[in-house]
Amino acid sequence: MTHPSGLPQPEGPYPPTEEMLAEQVPDDLRHAQADRLRAAWATPKGIRYMTAVNNSEVGKWYCLTALVFMLLAGVMALIIRLQLATPENDLVSADRFNQLFTMHGSAMMFLFAVPLFEAISILLLPGMLGARDMPFPRLSAFGYWCFLIGGVFVIGSIFFDAAPRAGWFMYPPLATQDEGPGSDIWLLGLSFIEVASIAAAVELIVGTLKCRPPGMRVNLMPLYAWYVLVVGGMILFAFPPLIAGDFLFELERSFDWPFFDPTRGGDPMLWQHLFWIFGHPEVYIIFLPSIAIAAMVIPTVARRPIFGYSWIVLSAVGTGFLSFGLWVHHMFTTGLPSISLGFFSAASEAVVIPTGIQIFAFLATLMAGRVKMTLPMLWISGALAIFTMGGLTGVMLALAPFDFQAHDTYFIVAHLHYTLFGGMVFPVIAGVYYFFPFIQKKVLSVRLGKWAFWLTFTGFNLCFLPMHLTGLWGMPRRVYTYPTGLGWDWLNLISTLGAFVIAAGFAVFVWDLIRPKHRQPQIPRNPWGGGTLEWTHDVPEEAWGVRSIPHISTRYPLWDQPDMVERMDAGRYYLPDAEEGLRETLVTSVIDAEPVQVQRVTGPTWITLWAAAFTGGAFIFPTFSWYLPAIISGALAILCIIGWLWTATARPPEADAKDVGLGLRLPTYAAGPSSVGWWAMWITMLGDATAYASLVFGFFFYWTASPNFPPEGAAHPDAALVALAAVAFAVNWILTVGARRLNRQGSVTAARLCLILAPLVAAGGATALVTSVLDTDPTSHVYPAILWALAIWTAVHSGAGVIMQLYCLAGSLFGKMTPRYDADIWNVSLFWHFVTISALVSCAVLGLAPGAL
Amino acid sequence: MKEERQPTRREDQREFSEEKASLFRITLAPLIWAAHFVACYGLVAVTCAKGWDIEAVRVGLLVFSLAALGGILWIGRAAWRRWNVSETGDFVNRGGRAEDRHHFLGHAAFLLSIISGIGVVFVSLPLVLIGGCQ
């Protein structure tokens, strides 16, 4: 059977029968296969080690870098605590103190908590899914290098006394009017990292949906994978509003467009909305993956399957949704109507239900099982205790009248640290102890681990428990000193002592992590007796992920499928070989994980490093207003990325299908909805559309918030040009989709003609749209400013679309894209579906709004 | 567990085709909650900012809340049927067959519709309890 394009469909028996699996592979063949696999997946040596893109390497670097950033942010916290230890202290100046608490919060959030989710997932997920690697390894590597460059840039600013100092939420006008580069460093550096986060989210979602082992239906997925799906989805809808906010903020900082300046019609509240639409789900983006680690540890220590699998899935998905209805509880004191506060208070209380269900499912599993108190379990118990406490104060704070009292006091500081330590730090450390044998093939010390736990646990409570009282007695957050005699002195002293006890706990933990372990004996393969696929890993380490990709029929295959590991090792399952010397993994269907394709996976390269370095330049140079180097850097980044895509992705394969073992033949190439690239584009576009929707929301926000929008006698966009742009975008869309269809039908010349015309028309449309607003002055009022912002956003996206169309044209001319192998044009037309819709919305807003408002 | 009745081929196709490629269905009930939430917040915010008639908006939104609850109820009922626990007695759907996956998705969707229902009721409460735009 063949596909419309002439590509073959999967052929052969599936699922494999017991007899097929029982068949032995001859010894010499088995060794030859293993050698070929080992060669294809070899980790580069020497300086070329930096070119590695394999999930195990990139994941390790990612985790270590996040750990270093966390330790730096922890040192800042210690300085903050020292300054507050006694009243009227002058250890650091007020300005330095502002930099410290701003960087402490920003670094903990953006350089530790969020990237760590991606770091851990990149490291562990392929193992849990029995995949060789994630579908886009170079994208992970690119994301990592972006994170490293951006992180060093942002955190380094504190050593030059140039760090941001307006609080980690960067409220305007304080932040917009702040002198010096601090605010720009925050905005550009962190936007850069957010882009990398979204890239990783795309990778993880596609990996979970399409790279599961054959037979791992959605009801058999490890719970961690469910959480990855939910959190990945949340990142796609939570981060883009902040990126849109950053875009507006930087336009105000750099070009004086008054988005947040009330004297010219702007409104600082828009920033607060956009920031907290990101900022609240963010808390759950941090919390859920850490809880997912608990969901992997608990069944192992309880030695029984998790209790209430469906209930935990419900909690993950439910929390994912409800957490988007909470952002205004950070804005209870901004003077919104009380009925609006009521909606958010209600949603804040409702989210307790799914969160509670997760905790109860864990407790039930522990109670029903025979628990062995291992180190990971010790940290999980600490996490449950601390998180419950933070949850209780959370219920209090979700009630608006209580929040009015406690707002911006140390009570909030106590609450947020209880939720974040209990919900994130403790479970993650539990995960480090639990997964260390998987990651490094060594175990960590039980004695040191217990020391680290008890120091951290007591230190934590010593530090943050008194803060509830300090706050209720009126001590505001973010003050750099306070007068004596208000009853805060001894409470602050205790908190400072506690902070140093925590630091001691971390010191023990970090020492245990980095101390040399050469003399430790080799560990057994599955030291905890876990039931999920990551524990089939090879000891000593092999870089191939799994020797052969197994067929799964249970939730805990290591417990329930007795012969599986031995058969995996013997290469009796899928893809036991790398005949062409290429890296490959299986792609399966979304719901039932039936094998559909062999995916060629990219290998080591320098290009990701270069691309990240130039992307970094494009974001970092504007901080110092060096726009020319920024533009050059951006252009070079685009060239690098084009080069990387051209040489490594969607190349026509040497054969249409190949034998993957057990009599199954799978296609080697896919285009459109069955390819992973198409899914990645679709998911990226969801995030992009969310950012765009936030801008449009901004337009209507100004309309409701300001009686003077649009201002009397304001100049409006040129309606004729806007109409022309709309027509051009529509024509461009027809040409692009037409090119895809014509190409598939074999009318290559006609398709090329469309691909020559389409970029011209799109560029014309973008030019017309930008020209239509040229007569208005964006610095005069927020009305022209937001119209300019919409026009620029659309034009930039059209620019990206034009590059993609030309890429397809070149692909068609040079034989990379043919009627049979047309994945590129599928992805590009998908991109243009989204851009066309947003362009038409821009045209509607620019052309119709002046008359309608 | 009761003894299973083997489904006919046509029954199989009808039952399983509905979730062939999409996980999206289990999020239908939470999506209704989200739409309801956005409508309540957005409409009330504009009403209060522009001085429209808050009474009419309140009544309209309460009617909308009832409609949202009706929608969630309907989704929950369909999900209950798919889960089919009264026939199979299987609460965990741990197996590797297509039927287990089918029942699991029904179970998850059913639970999500309960939580979404509670969410809609919670979010509607301010409409009942708080009179205007103070």
Lowest mean pLDDT among A195-209, A220-234, B5-19, B54-68: B5-19
The tens digit of pLDDT for each residue in A170-229 reads 999 999 999 888 999 998 888 888 878 888 899 999 999 999 999 999 999 999 999 999
**Is B123 in contact with A554 (Cβ distance < 8 A)?**
no
CB contacts, 8 Å: B26 with chain A: 317
CA nearest to A222, candidates A313, A320, A317: A313
The Cα–Cα gap between A190 and A623 comes to 12
Instruction: Give the C-alpha separation, A853 to A845, whole Å.
Output: 10
Which residue intervals of A712-821 are DSSP H helices? 719-745, 748-772, 782-813
How distant, in Å, are the alpha carbons of A223, A422, A453, A499 from that of A381? 19, 9, 11, 21
**Could you say which of B96, B104, B118 has the minimum Cβ distance to residue A310?**
B104
Give the pLDDT of residue A34: 95
Nearest CA in chain A to B103: A219
DSSP label at A13? -
Task: Report which secondary-structure segment, H or E, holds A32.
Answer: helix A27-40
Residue range A703-718: mean pLDDT, rounded? 87
pLDDT digits (tens, 9 = 90+) for A821-835: 999 999 999 999 999
| pLDDT value at residue A814 | 95
Partner-chain contact A339 B133, CB within 8 Å: yes
- For residue A433, how many other CB atoms are within 10 A of its CB? 27
Task: Identify which of A601, A478, A766, A643 has the alpha carbon closest to the alpha carbon of residue A134.
Answer: A601
For B110, nearest residue in chain A (alpha carbons): A314
Cβ proximity of A74 and A506 under 8 Å: yes
CA distance A303 to A373: 12
- pLDDT-derived band at B10 (thresholds 50, 70, 90) equals low
Can you say how many angstroms the Cα of residue A133 is from the centroid of all Cα atoms in its chain? 18
Whether residue A342 and residue B126 make contact (CB cut-off 8 A), yes or no, is yes
Residues of chain B neighbouring A320 (CB-CB closer than 8 A):
30
In angstroms, what separates the C-alpha of A310 from chain B's closest C-alpha? 6
**pLDDT value of residue A1:** 39
In angstroms, the CA A573 to CA A584 distance is 14
CB A190 within 8 A of CB A106: yes
Summarize pLDDT for A641-680 with one digit per residue, the tens: 999 999 998 889 988 999 999 999 999 999 998 899 999 9
B39 in Cβ contact with B128 (< 8 Å): no
User: Cβ contact (<8 Å) for A704 and B50?
Assistant: yes
Q: For residue A710, is pLDDT > 60?
A: yes
Could you tell me which of A396, A391, A399, A324 has the C-alpha nearest to residue A357? A391
B132 vs A350: CB contact, 8 Å cut-off?
no
Q: One-letter amino acid identity for A372?
A: K
> Which residues does chain B have within 8 Å of residue A592's beta carbon, measured at their own beta carbons?
98, 101
Cβ separation A317–B23 shorter than 8 A = no
Cβ–Cβ contacts within 10 Å for residue A304, how many? 18
Partner-chain residue, chosen from B45, B112, B122, that has the shortest CB–CB distance to A350: B122
A772-805 pLDDT tens trace: 999 999 999 999 999 999 999 999 999 999 999 9
Q: Could you give the CA distance from residue A63 to residue A61 in angstroms, rounded to a whole number?
A: 6
User: Residue B83, Cβ neighbours under 10 Å: how many?
Assistant: 24
Query: In terms of Cα–Cα distance, which of A183, A165, A157 is closest to A252?
Result: A183
**How far is A57 from A46, CA to CA, in rounded Å?**
14
pLDDT range class, residue A747, cuts 50, 70, 90: very high
Token pair listed for A562? 């007795």
pLDDT number for residue A354: 94
Residues of A in contact with B55 (CB under 8 A): none
What are the chain A neighbours of B132 within 8 Å (beta carbons)?
339
- Closest-CA residue in chain B for A355? B115
Residue percentage of chain A with pLDDT more than 90: 88
**CB-based contact B115 A704, cutoff 8 Å:** no
B6 pLDDT more than 70? no
Adjacent-strand bridge partners of A598: A586
- Pairwise CA distance, residues A312 & A354, whole Å: 8
Whether A591 and B27 lie within 8 Å, measured CB to CB: no
Task: Spell out the alpha helix ranges (H) of A85-181.
Answer: 94-106, 114-128, 137-156
pTM for the structure as a whole: 0.94
The confidence score (pLDDT) of residue B9 equals 60
Q: Which amino acid is at B26?
A: I
Of A228, A190, A223, A202, nearest to A112 by C-alpha is: A190
Considering only CB atoms, which chain A residues are within 8 Å of B21?
589-591
Candidate from A305, A321, A342 with C-beta closest to B94: A305
3-state secondary structure A208-265: HHHCCCCCCCCCCCCHHHHHHHHHHHHHHHHHHHHHHHHHHHHHHHHHCCCCCCHHHC
Give the CA distances from residue A200 to residues A116, A120, A155, A540, in Å, rounded to whole numbers and listed in that order.
11, 11, 21, 28
**What b-and-e string marks burial along A588-614, b requiring 16 or more CB atoms within 10 Å of the CB?**
bbbbbbebbbbbbbbbbbebbbbbbbb
Q: Residue A467: is it exposed, middle or buried by C-beta count within 10 angstroms (0-12/13-18/19+)?
A: buried
* DSSP code string of A575-601: ----TTS--EEEEE-TTT--EEEEEE-
Q: Looking at residue A654, what is its pLDDT?
A: 87
Cβ–Cβ gap B26/A219 under 8 Å? no
| Residues A422-467: tens digit of each pLDDT | 999 999 999 999 999 999 999 999 999 999 999 999 999 999 999 9
pLDDT tens for each residue of A88-141: 999 999 999 999 999 999 999 999 998 999 999 999 999 999 999 999 999 999
Q: What is the C-alpha to C-alpha distance for residues B48 and A210, in angstroms, rounded to an integer?
A: 47
Q: What is the ipTM of this complex?
A: 0.92
Q: At A755, is the pLDDT very low, low, confident or very high (cuts 50, 70, 90)? A: very high
Gap between the Cα atoms of A539 and A529, Å rounded:
15
Report pLDDT digits (tens) over A16-75: 999 999 988 999 999 999 999 999 999 999 999 999 999 999 999 999 999 999 999 999
User: CA quadruple A320, A325, A328, A332: dihedral positive or negative?
Assistant: negative
Average pLDDT of the segment spanning A310-328: 94
How many Cβ contacts (< 8 angstroms) between chains A and B? 138
Contact A217 B96 (CB under 8 A): yes
d(C-alpha A142, C-alpha A441), whole Å: 26
- Residue A489 · residue A64 · CB < 8 Å: no
pLDDT given at position B2: 45
Q: Is the pLDDT of residue A705 over 90?
A: no
Query: A318 vs B123: CB contact, 8 Å cut-off?
Result: no
The tokens for A635 are: 């252009």
Contacts of B115 in chain A (CB under 8 A): 314, 318, 322, 350, 353-354
Q: What is the pLDDT of residues A362-407, one digit of tens each?
A: 999 999 988 888 999 999 999 999 999 999 999 999 999 999 999 9
- Chain A residue with minimal CA distance to B30? A321
**DSSP annotation of A111:** I
Q: How many angstroms separate the CA atoms of A842 and A804, rounded?
A: 21
Q: Is A337's CB within 8 Å of B22's CB? A: no
Chain A residues touching residue B41 (CB < 8 angstroms): 340, 343-344
Alpha carbons A264 and A714: distance in angstroms, whole number: 13
Closest by CA to A488, choosing from A413, A410, A418, A417, is: A410
**Residue among A208, A272, A331, A339 with most chain B CBs within 10 A, to mutate:** A339
Q: Which residues of chain A does B17 touch, with a Cβ-Cβ cutoff of 8 Å?
A: none
CB nearest A705 (choices: B49, B54, B100): B49
Non-local (6+) Cβ contacts of A151 within 8 A are A65, A69, A111, A115, A189, A193
Burial zone of B89 (CB within 10 Å; 0-12 exposed, 13-18 middle, 19+ buried): exposed
Q: What is the pLDDT of residues A593-638, one digit of tens each?
A: 999 999 999 999 999 999 999 999 999 999 888 999 999 999 999 9
Q: How far apart are CA A359 and CA A315, in angstroms?
A: 10
Contact B123 A317 (CB under 8 A): no
| B130 contact residues in A (CB cutoff 8 A) | 338-339, 342
How many residues belong to chain B?
134
Rounded distance between C-alpha atoms, residue A710 and residue A707, angstroms: 8
Query: Do A742 and A816 touch, CB atoms closer than 8 A?
Result: no
Give B122→chain A minimum CA distance, Å: 5
Averaged pLDDT, A712-731? 94
Q: In this predicted structure, what is the pLDDT of residue A371? A: 86
A549 SS3 class: strand
The CA distance from A665 to A707, in Å, is 66
Angle at CA of residue B101, ends B98 and B106, nearest 5° = 130
Which residues in chain B have Cβ-Cβ distances shorter than 8 Å to A353? 115, 118
Mean pLDDT of chain A: 93
